[in-house]
Each structure stands twice: as C-alpha cells, then as structure tokens.
Amino acid sequence: MHGPGDVRVEERAEPVIQLETDAVIRLVASCICGSDLWPYRGIEKQSGPTPMGHEYVGIVEQIGSAVRTLSVGDFVVGSFFASDNTCVVCQAGYQTACLHREPAAPGGAQAEWMRVPLADGTLVATPGVPDPSLVPHLLAASDVLGTGWFGAVAAEVGPGSTVAVVGDGAVGLLAVLAARELGAERIIAMSRHRERQELALEFGATDIVAERGPDGVAAIKRMAGGLGADSVIEAVGTAESMAQALHATRPAGHMSFVGVPHGVSLDAMDLFFSHVHVHGGPAPVRRFLPDLIDRIWSGRIQPGRVFDLALPLAEAADGYRAMDERHAIKVLLELP
C-alpha cells in the first residue's frame, strides 16, 4: 500500500531465512482483512509504502536449523502474530501477548512467499495437503475464524447460552458459527444486510436484529428473557457498538470485544452498575488452531463461506475496493 486507496502489486525480493527459528512458506492463498481498510481509508497513517496482509496458508519451503515441529512440504496455517508458544503468557493461552511476540508476516502475507518468525510456535501443520475445496476454510482459521472463536470463548459462550453478536463482518459472522459450535441455544445476529443475515442464519443464528442503538438493545432484551443476553460478542470496535454490546448483556453477563477499538472510551460507572464481565483483545488464534483445523478437516464447519469474492493476487487493488465499498464481505486472493 503506497498510500490511502493506492494498492499496487509489485515484484519484491524473495524472503529468506534470517534466524534459525524462521520458516519460509510459499502461500497457497491470502486475503484482505477489515483492518487493512483502516490505512486504505487514511484513518490509520503509514509512514510510506507498506507490505500488506497477515492471513495466510501455504507450504513450508525452507526451515531454519532450530525448527523442530515442521518439515519442508508441510501445509501450514498460522496466526497474525508470531509467538514462541512456550513462554508463560503463551502457555496461559494468550499467544498474541507472547513475551516474544512479533508480526507473523513482516513482509506482508498478500504475497507469493513469506518469512514467518518463530515458526514452531506460530505455524500449525494440517494432517496433509488439503483438497483445494478446504483452502478457503483453512485460510479463514488464520484470523477471522480464530478471532470470532475467541470472541465466543471470551464471552463465556457454552451449552445453552443466549448469545448476541454485534457486527456482521467476517469476524461477527464467524462468532455466530463459533457460538453454535460451543453449544449456544439462542444466537442473535445484529445485521441489516440481507446477504450477511443469510450467512448468519446458515452459520447458526436463530434470530436476526436489524435495529441499532437503543432499539437494537431493546430487541435483544425482548428475545433474551427481558434481561439481555448471557454473552455478547462485540466485533466492530466503535463507541456505538461497544455501548450496544454492554447494554445488551444481562446483569453480570459476559461481553467480549475483538474488534480493535478506535478512539473508544468506556464509562466506568456504566460498567460498574451493569456488573458485566468484560474481556477482549487481539485474539490468540494460535490457541484454537489445532481444534479449528480438526473441525475444518472433518468437514464439520465451512468458515470459508465468508469469502464472497476471490481474485488473483494481481488484482488485489480491486479486492480492496470491493471491501471498502462493502460489495464484498471478505476477499480471498488466489496465488498463481
């Protein structure tokens, strides 16, 4: 990305092993994230041309001399943060707060090749090279599925829960899927877009709320026994969506937030009298990857359904435009 609205696909030097814990992978697919739109829209400043992308699946082509769990030829899925997966924070399940955390795709994952630091702790090999039909689903696990899943876990979704999801982007839609997989009984998706509503229903939503603000909160409370949902997952990151999520949670219920909040303050008094448990942050996708890969491999879940547009990597600029204009929920970039 050379600047707001200016995405170019260019030849760059091939990445090489720099540290003995690195791997170099040849990407099989990549994609564009909602968070890539912040700099695209000029809201997040960049200091110059920046390689983009942090979601990826691919084949291991080279490994550093210290890499133990991966072999050349493995098909791998990784998260957006590299983690050692051995430090005390990783062992507690928060690999995105790893003491040695660094970006997993320092050279960008919207690319043919990438170097992945801390490969053992970051990448998870699938049971074999997947059928091409599985690739979009595995790619979704790299971020949006893992993030939606964390949203559901952080909001303590469990068997019988009543859940509300604020946000109908890929993460919100996959939080619906996660809630279903975790046994939720009632799943209320907030969306006013027909295609997204349909995907939410397909992923397991039992109810759709199109209203926003106080009306949306009132609708959720009506559906959730008058008090609010047990678990609310906030997957947007604005002041409005955070307030909506908090107020839609039942007294002493659980609210998670997994969309990076931009300029949002929470009123502590509001939080105090709600008794709501709040937990969020950059999703530790690595914690969930083995389980998510199993569910995808067995055909139990199809999270790749969130990709409603696939383009060759060379046409990445069109992909950004489609997401910016909300013509696409999420764009998959095909590698040659």
Q: Which residues of the shown chain bind a second copy in the complex (CB under 8 A)?
A: 88-89, 92-94, 96-97, 225, 227, 237, 242, 250-252, 257, 260-269, 271-282
Nearby residues of 198 by Cβ (< 8 Å), 6 or more positions away: none
Measured from the CB atom, is 217 or 301 closer to a second copy?
A: 217
Residue bearing tokens 């939503």: 205
Closest separation between CB of residue 27 and a second copy, Å?
Answer: 28
Measured from the CB atom, is 141 or 243 closer to a second copy?
A: 243
Q: Which residues pair with 188 in a beta bridge?
A: 164, 207
Nearest CA to 25 among 80, 127, 105? 105
Measured from the CB atom, is 204 or 282 closer to a second copy?
A: 282
Alpha carbons 314 and 93: distance in angstroms, whole number:
37
For residue 173, give the amino acid letter.
L
Nearby residues of 217 by Cβ (< 8 Å), 6 or more positions away: 228, 244, 247, 248
Measured from the CB atom, is 266 or 309 closer to a second copy?
A: 266
Q: How many Å separate Cα 278 from the centre of its chain?
A: 19
Closest separation between CB of residue 168 and a second copy, Å?
Answer: 20
Alpha carbons 100 and 58: distance in angstroms, whole number:
23
Closest separation between CB of residue 258 and a second copy, Å?
Answer: 9
Q: Which residues pair with 256 in a beta bridge?
A: 233, 279
Measured from the CB atom, is 94 or 307 closer to a second copy?
A: 94
Report the 3 state secondary structure along 151-185. HHHHCCCCCCCEEEEECCCHHHHHHHHHHHHCCCC
Alpha carbons 240 and 260: distance in angstroms, whole number:
14
Measured from the CB atom, is 30 or 249 closer to a second copy?
A: 249
Closest separation between CB of residue 150 and a second copy, Å?
Answer: 10
Closest separation between CB of residue 260 and a second copy, Å?
Answer: 6
For residue 327, give the amino acid letter.
H
Closest separation between CB of residue 129 and a second copy, Å?
Answer: 34
Closest separation between CB of residue 227 and a second copy, Å?
Answer: 7
Q: Angle at Cα 128 formed by Cα 125 and Cα 137, nearest 5°?
A: 75
Measured from the CB atom, is 89 or 333 closer to a second copy?
A: 89
